[in-house]
Amino acid sequence: MDGMDTIKAVAKFVEDTRNPFGIDFLDTQKYEIHMLHSSVPIADQQAVFEPCEPNVRRIVLATNIAETSITIPNVVYVIDTGRVKEKRYDPERHASSLVSAWAGSSNINQRAGRAGRHRAGQYYGIVSKARLDTMEAYQMVEIKRVDLSNVVMHIKVPCQSFEVESSKLILLVA
């Protein structure tokens, strides 16, 4: 999913809706729901790696952290929204913001590969065929969508010499 707001909305739907899809997701004898996001406490995130009870299906609501950074054991199904949150700079407003954007088709392929790492699995992309056909192969690279003034300011700061192994590295900025 593209962010914590979406994760919370899906979790709320599952918790508040009486038997969505005819399934009682609140039955802890059958289901465990986990949220993976940087704002979730580490201990809660670690629980997704612990073995669950027999006959309990684990449901993981996650951002693209689960795309490449981690491998969750026994993932069988991946349902993908095809979205990511990315930082973008608006030069007209001189402001950066986190926006929801379409992932690249390479991201979609990576996510599909998460299904069935340990046993046979299936991938379901919630992306129309038209969108998939027009999707860029890769997301726009970060250097093209963020404000670089901070980087420039750090470079422009008067530099000192830094010792690197046994030789000296001196950085000079005009």
What pLDDT, on the 0 to 100 scale, is given for residue 157? 65
User: According to the model, what pLDDT value does residue 8 have?
Assistant: 92
What span, in angstroms and rounded, lies between the C-alpha atoms of 30 and 120? 21
In contact, 68 and 139? CB cutoff 8 Å: no
Which CATH architecture is the domain 4-146 placed in? 3-Layer(aba) Sandwich (3.40)
What confidence score (pLDDT) does residue 71 get? 78
Task: Find residue 87's DSSP bridge partners.
Answer: 98
C-alpha distances in angstroms, 140 versus 25, 98, 104, 131, 150? 37, 14, 8, 16, 20
More confident residue, 156 or 22: 22
Q: Per-residue DSSP letters for 12-29?
A: HHHHHSSSGGG--TT-TT
From 102, 65, 99, select the one nearest 81 (Cα to Cα): 102
Q: Output the pLDDT for position 7.
A: 92
pTM: predicted TM-score of the whole model, two decimal places: 0.70
pLDDT at res. 18: 72
Q: Residue 166 has what pLDDT?
A: 46
Residue whose structure tokens are 């608006």: 90
Give tens-digit pLDDT for 24-40. Answer: 888 889 999 999 888 88
* Domain residue ranges in the chain: 4-146
Task: Output the average pLDDT for the chain.
Answer: 81
Name the nearest CA neighbour of 172 among 150, 164, 148, 161. 161
pLDDT of residue 118: 74
Instruction: Choose the weakest-confidence range: 127-131, 135-139, 151-155, 164-168.
Output: 164-168
Residue-wise pLDDT tens digits, 52-85? 888 999 888 988 876 667 778 788 888 888 888 8
Least confident range from 2-11, 22-31, 81-90, 141-150: namely 141-150
